[in-house]
Every structure is written in C-alpha cells, then in structure tokens.
Amino acid sequence: MDLFARSAEARRLNQPLAERMRPQSLAEFIGQEHLLGAGRLLGKLAPGQNLPSLLLWGPPGTGKTTLARLLAEAVRAHLVTLSAVQAGVKEVREAIAEAATRRDQYGRRTVLFIDEIHRFSRTQQGALLPHVEAGTVTLVGATTENPSFGVVAALLSRARVVRLEALGEEALLQILRRALADRERGLGALEVTIADEVLAEIAALAGGDGRRALGVLEAAVELARGDGLPAGVERAHVIEAAQTRTLVYDKAGDEHFAVISAFIKSMRGSDPDAAAYWLARMLEAGEDPRFLLRRMVIFASEDVGNADPQALVVATAALHAFELVGLPEGALCLTQTAVYLACAPKSNTALTTYAAARKLVRERGGLPVPAELRNAATALARSMGHGQGYKYPHDFEGAYVPADYLPAELVGTPIYQPTTSGFEAELKARLEALAARRRR
C-alpha cells in the first residue's frame, strides 16, 4: 500500500497547481456568488435533492468543470464526464445506457457532464434530448460560447442556462492566497513570500481566469527559486511568467460579438476614447482588420450618413490605405477612422429611408413607371408616349422644376425624413425651400 500511496502522491505533485487546488466542496468554491449564495439557484443543494439540467456558460477559468463535479457530489449523483471534442454519438449512447442501468439496479442518478457542448453537432445534441426529458440523465453542459448560437433550441428548452462571470480581482486574490497557504496541495511548504502589490499584478494579468492566475503564480515561484532566492517572488518574475496579458476573445464566438457591439455603440455614442479602446482590444486579440474596416464602412452610412458625407470617404479610404500598408502601421488608419466616425455628427436616415422604401416595394409590388419618366431613346418608345411631358430641370432656374417622380399611387408619400444633424440640416433646409416653391 505504501508503494501505491507514494505513486498517487507523485502523480499529485506532478499535476499543475491549478489542478491540485481545485475546490473539494461547494464551500471551498470561490466566486459566482450570484449562483451559489444564500437563496440562489445552486446555493442550497443537499443529498437526494433534484438537480435540474444546466448549461454552464462562461469564460475560461471560471470553474465550470469544477462546479459540475461539486454539484453532482452535493446531490450524491454519479458523475460521467465527456468532452465534445473527443466523444461522439456512440460514447453518448453508452453513457446513457450505463445511466439507465445505474438507475434501475441501484436507484442512483447520473449527472452527464459534457465539456464544450457547443462543439456537438445537431445530431449529437439530438441524441441527448429524449434521455434528458425522461430524466435518465441530468445534463450539465459547459460552454464558453453563447448557448443561443451553439446549442439547439430543443435542448435549450430542457435546461437552465447559468451564466458564470469572469472572476473579479478579490476572488482571484482569494484563490492565490489559498494556494500560497495550503501546505498539502498548494505552495505553503515552500514558504513563499510575495508582496500584496505583486499578487495584485498576477490577478490583473489573469483577466478573470482563475486557472491562468494559478499558472502564473506557479511559474513565478519556480523562477524565483531558480534565482536562488528564498522563494521571494518579485514583479519581474511575474512579468516573465505571464509573458503577455491574456485577452479573452474568440473571433467566432460570444466575446467577438460582445466586443464588436461595444465598439460600434461607442462610435454611435460619440465616444472616441471608448471606440479606440475596443478597437485596440480587438486588434491585439488578433481580429481581422478588414472585418473592422468593413464594419466602419457600414457605420459611415448607417449611423453618420449625410450628417457628414465625408465619413464614408474616410472609411473607404482607410480600407484602401490598409491594403497598401498592412499591420502594424495600418492600425493607425483604423484608429483615425474610428475616432473620426465617433466624433462625426450622426444620422441614421440612410437606414430609415431604405427601410421605408423597401417596405413600400414589398407591400405595393412593382408599380408602373410613369410614362414621362420612361426612356425615350427610340422612335418606338416615343410613339408610345415615353418621355412626353418630362421637364428637364436644368432648363429652369436653380435646376429645379416642380414634378412628381414617384409612381402615381405613391405621390405624396414621405420616405426620406432628414434630420437637423450636421450637413443634413442643410439638406433639410433645401428640401423645405423646394417644397415651398412647389406649393407656390
């Protein structure tokens, strides 16, 4: 037995610090008080209590896998763990068959934990449905992606979506201090010394990820010991251990949509500081600059429009300029454009005008073109009355003559409603002056 005990101890010591410090009970779990606090959804689980099927949605390092294990233990259920990256329908069916046997022969419930469940295909997710509905298994899925994008609607309706938040600085500091103090699983036996401000630096570099925080701490301690110091961790060790700050970002996932949304809303809200920040965050995380440039070209028409017609010129010029210079200098073109768009006067009349015109087309269909507006380039066309009655505006004062250009059924229907923002105020004034001439 001593041999087996030594072998188990060796395996434990070779595990990363983050693995060794996984909480052993819900009482040890740090963070997510909105779920585990008194009176919350998962705060009062007891042996024999029913655990609903859950989809744990949150960024990396927030405790999704650990929480699934602890929830199963809390209700005395058997836990089966599958990874959506490695498992298929075969493994799912085997797990469900074993769960049915476990229930029928021993009266014990099974929690089926599927990590990265969003990577399961629709067929694989569909294989779970009848068994989740029948209660053969309690499903707990973990995902870093918005379940609305990666999980089929039928499965969403049978599980509760639980949002785990990125860990705050205080929670990360608690995790780090526990690891420094724990003599059995953590670094307590090394009698590490580390200043509070250095510990705070690790928490800041972790970006809300508890696993990364412990990884940086472990590497920094090793660096300090290699320097021959009495395990005194300094800021230089932390910076070297971290290498670079981790930016939570997925170019196809929820964080992608969250950050690009913040970027566009910052420009729309005329906040150049915020626009520059979100832009830099996306570029530093590896976002495709052309995607950002295309979004800014759209924004120039959708949100600035004729309040500043130059905005579209600036945005398209930035797209061309980036193709010439690329990164890193091309980031300057993007930043200049983002700041310009944020500071520009705003009008969304390009959006509202097209929407109004499209609505009329879809409701009324292809109304006939008035005869006077039709092409009269041929003798046949002219013999059919095309172009007759058309008045050439340049033949009149101010290049304007009152006339109707809409189909007869739509004459008088307002479509373009100019604002008083920026240059569009001048367009509004001109249209009002022309309307006055028309009335006269």
Distances (CA, A) of 287 to 45, 263, 278, 323: 42, 13, 11, 16
Q: Who has greater pLDDT, 120 or 7?
A: 120
Query: Which residues are bridge partners to 113 per DSSP?
Result: 81, 140
pLDDT at 207: 83
* Amino acid at site 356: A
Which pLDDT band holds residue 90 (cuts at 50, 70, 90)?
Answer: confident
Provide the pLDDT for residue 262. Answer: 95
Provide mean pLDDT across the span 424-439. Answer: 90
pLDDT for position 85: 85
| 263-277 pLDDT per residue, tens | 999 999 999 999 999
Range(s) within the chain of domains with CATH label 1.10.8.60:
169-242
- Please state the rounded mean pLDDT for residues 121-135: 88
Rounded-to-integer distance, Cα 18 and Cα 65, Å: 12
Q: What is the mean pLDDT of residues 55-83?
A: 91
The partner residues of 78 in beta bridges, in order of sequence, read 110
Question: Which of 24-33, 309-318, 363-372: highest mean pLDDT?
Answer: 309-318
**CATH number of the 32-163 domain:** 3.40.50.300
Give me the pLDDT at residue 250, please. 59
For 80, the token pair is 């089966």
Give CATH 1.20.272.10 domain extents, the chain. Answer: 254-343
Average pLDDT value for residue range 396-402:
89
Cα–Cα nearest to 113, from 160, 54, 170, 48? 54
Does 343 score more than 60 pLDDT? yes
- Which of 23-27, 354-358, 417-421 has the lowest average pLDDT? 23-27
Instruction: Report the chain's mean pLDDT, rounded to a whole number.
Output: 88
Q: What is the per-residue pLDDT for 246?
A: 57
pLDDT higher than threshold 90 for residue 190: no
In 3D, which of 414, 405, 416, 413 has the Cα closest to residue 369?
Answer: 405
Please state which architecture CATH assigns to domain 169-242: Orthogonal Bundle (1.10)
Spell out the CATH class of 350-439. Answer: mainly alpha
Question: How confident is residue 95, by pLDDT bands cut at 50, 70 and 90?
Answer: very high
Higher pLDDT, 55 or 232: 55
Question: What number is the average pLDDT over the span 370-389?
Answer: 88
pLDDT tens digits for 302-340?
999 999 999 999 999 999 999 999 888 999 999 999 999
Q: Is 194's pLDDT higher than 80?
A: yes
Residue range(s) occupied by CATH 3.40.50.300 in the chain: 32-163
Confidence grade of residue 245 (pLDDT, cut at 50, 70, 90): low
For residue 88, what pLDDT is reported? 81
pLDDT level of residue 244 (50, 70, 90 thresholds):
low
Per-residue pLDDT of 43-63, as tens digits, reads 777 676 788 899 999 888 899
Distance separating alpha carbons of residues 319 and 338, to the nearest angstrom:
12
Q: Which range, 92-96, 164-168, 316-320, has the best average confidence (pLDDT)?
A: 316-320
Percentage of residues in the chain having pLDDT higher than 70 = 93
Structure confidence at residue 11 (pLDDT): 53
Structural domain 254-343, CATH architecture: Up-down Bundle (1.20)
How far, CA to CA in Å, does 438 sit from each of 75, 204, 388, 400, 404?
79, 66, 21, 10, 10
